[in-house]
Amino acid sequence: MRVNRILLPAVLVVLALVIQVSVLARLHLPGAVPDLLMLVVLGLAMTYGHVAGCLIGFFAGLLADLAPPADHAAGRYALVLCVIGYLAGLAKPENGQLRSAALPMTVVAGAAVLSTLLYASVGALVGDTAARHVGIVSLLFTALVYDLLLAPFTVPWIMALARRLDRDPMAADSGAAGGSPYRWMSPGNARSGSRLTRIRPGGQRDSLLKGGRKL
């Protein structure tokens, strides 16, 4: 449902930002800070698609730019997460279901490296040389390790929650029943549904084969 596509990202983004600022940033880990906010954007983008991923990434990044103790130019992280959300949305499975963990982990690894490079590049354009003092190689390595370690505990759960709340059973039922007095159902999955059952308004059932022969 459209409302869930607004409420769920808003709640998850705010929650991730609070945890990242109040917990993860205070761990003082060497190198980069685990980017929980980016993982939330990745999970939602791979569920909703590239357009929603771009928008969610922009507003999540803008919120991070404005939230204290941000010490960089506003819009910098918004640009980074906007690009990351768009690219991650392109990897959305056609049927919405993931068959293995290879795809999301690959997306997380690429996003960790690309976001670090984009953030450092934009910072260099506006005169922020903090990445040079820390070392870009160290930032890339630690960002990759931290995000990959955190991804299995966040991305699959976010995608599962988003898919669950995005379903609209009423719309599915009305779409199946609308336009015809009959409803067509398959008694199994798509591969085993060679036999179809036609339900008439009075409740009588007719069983048909694919070739059109009545049983």
Q: pLDDT tens-digit profile of 94-145?
A: 765 667 778 889 999 999 999 999 988 887 777 666 656 667 888 899 999 9
Chain centre to alpha carbon of residue 71: 27
So what's the pLDDT on residue 14? 95
Encoded tokens for 76: 């910098």
Residue 132's pLDDT is 63
Confidence at residue 40, expressed as pLDDT on a 0 to 100 scale: 96
Between CA 188 and CA 101 the distance in angstroms is 26
pLDDT of residue 184: 27
Number of Cβ within 10 Å of residue 63's Cβ equals 19
Under-50 pLDDT residues of the chain: 1, 168-199, 205, 207-215
pLDDT number for residue 189: 43
pLDDT at res. 210: 43
What backbone phi and psi angles, to 5 degrees, belong to 206?
Answer: -120, 130
pLDDT at position 102: 85
Classify residue 49 as left (phi > 0), alpha (psi -120 to 50) or beta: left
pTM: 0.73
